[in-house]
């Protein structure tokens, strides 16, 4: 009887630890001011250079999102971008730039880095989404069809994590992977003329 008691409690304790480990691996990062998000970009500028794109969340409240951004190379540009609350909710365009000039000005009805929440919800329901995608010197209207749920592996505070994500693709081959988080649907990876993916998130 004593042996059964300890065995059952050992099993329960093991299940608890396993559950805690699973939650730790999938728990969403807190996207609060001070959070750093680093992306690796391939052929991301007009000359086809690779570089890191680093942003720091400076402000996130009911008025919108403000972040500072910088590029590691080749020209180490940097700046600040402000995304309005109404665009974060229902913008019709996505500025898929990890480049200098586009990050110094952003048209109304566009967002960047994070997807418009309305578009995210449509993909989550399995519905196609049409967005104006700004790329370098042009804007292309694309319709993205849901391509299924997945997990996306990256470093969060130095620890490898697999976070839930949605994927979508357009007929011309462009595609996105988006964090499955309605309050902050971060673009985790994109592929069009160039490729970019988030490699690390560091919280304060």
Please check whether residue 55 is in contact with residue 68, taking contact to mean a CB–CB distance below 8 angstroms. Answer: yes
- The β-bridge partners of 11 are none
Closest CA to 170 of 134, 112, 128: 128
Res 99 pLDDT > 70? no
What does the pLDDT look like over 142-175, one tens digit per residue? Answer: 999 999 999 999 999 999 999 999 999 999 988 9
- Looking at the chain, the whole-number percentage of residues with pLDDT higher than 90 is 51
Work out the mean pLDDT of the chain and round it to a whole number.
Answer: 82
Around 42, how many Cα atoms within 13 Å sit in the side-chain half-sphere? 11
Tokens 């699973």 sit at which residue? Answer: 22
**How confident is the model at residue 106, as a pLDDT?**
59
Q: What is the pLDDT of residue 70?
A: 87
Beta strands in the chain (DSSP E): 36-42, 51-61, 64-71, 78-84, 93-95, 110-111, 129-135, 138-156, 159-169, 175-179, 187-191, 195-202
Confidence of residue 77 (pLDDT cuts 50, 70, 90): confident
Q: What per-residue confidence (pLDDT) applies to 98?
A: 53
Q: Is the pLDDT score of 102 beyond 80?
A: no
Instruction: Tell me the pLDDT band of 71, cut-offs 50, 70 and 90.
Output: confident
Q: Residue 17 has what pLDDT?
A: 40
Higher pLDDT, 102 or 55: 55
The pLDDT value recorded for residue 189 is 95
């Amino acid at each position: 009887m004593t042996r059964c008691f300890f065995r059952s409690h050992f099993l329960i304790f093991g299940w608890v630890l396993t559950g805690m480990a699973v939650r730790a691996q999938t728990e969403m990062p807190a996207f609060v001011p001070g959070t750093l998000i680093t992306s690796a970009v391939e052929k991301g500028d007009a000359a086809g250079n690779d570089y890191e794109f680093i942003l720091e969340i400076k402000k996130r409240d009911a008025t919108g999102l403000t972040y500072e951004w910088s590029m590691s190379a080749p020209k180490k540009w940097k700046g600040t971008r402000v995304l309005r609350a109404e665009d974060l909710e229902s913008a019709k365009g996505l500025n898929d730039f990890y480049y200098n000039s586009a990050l110094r000005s952003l048209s109304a009805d566009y967002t960047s880095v994070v997807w418009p929440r309305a578009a995210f919800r449509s993909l989550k329901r399995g519905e196609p989404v049409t967005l104006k995608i700004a790329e370098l010197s042009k804007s292309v209207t694309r319709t993205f069809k849901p391509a299924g749920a997945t997990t996306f592996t990256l470093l969060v505070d130095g620890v490898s994590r697999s976070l839930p994500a949605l994927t979508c693709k357009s007929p011309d081959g462009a595609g996105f992977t988006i964090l499955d988080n309605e309050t902050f649907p971060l673009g985790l990876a994109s592929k069009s003329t160039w490729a970019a993916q988030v490699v690390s998130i560091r919280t304060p």
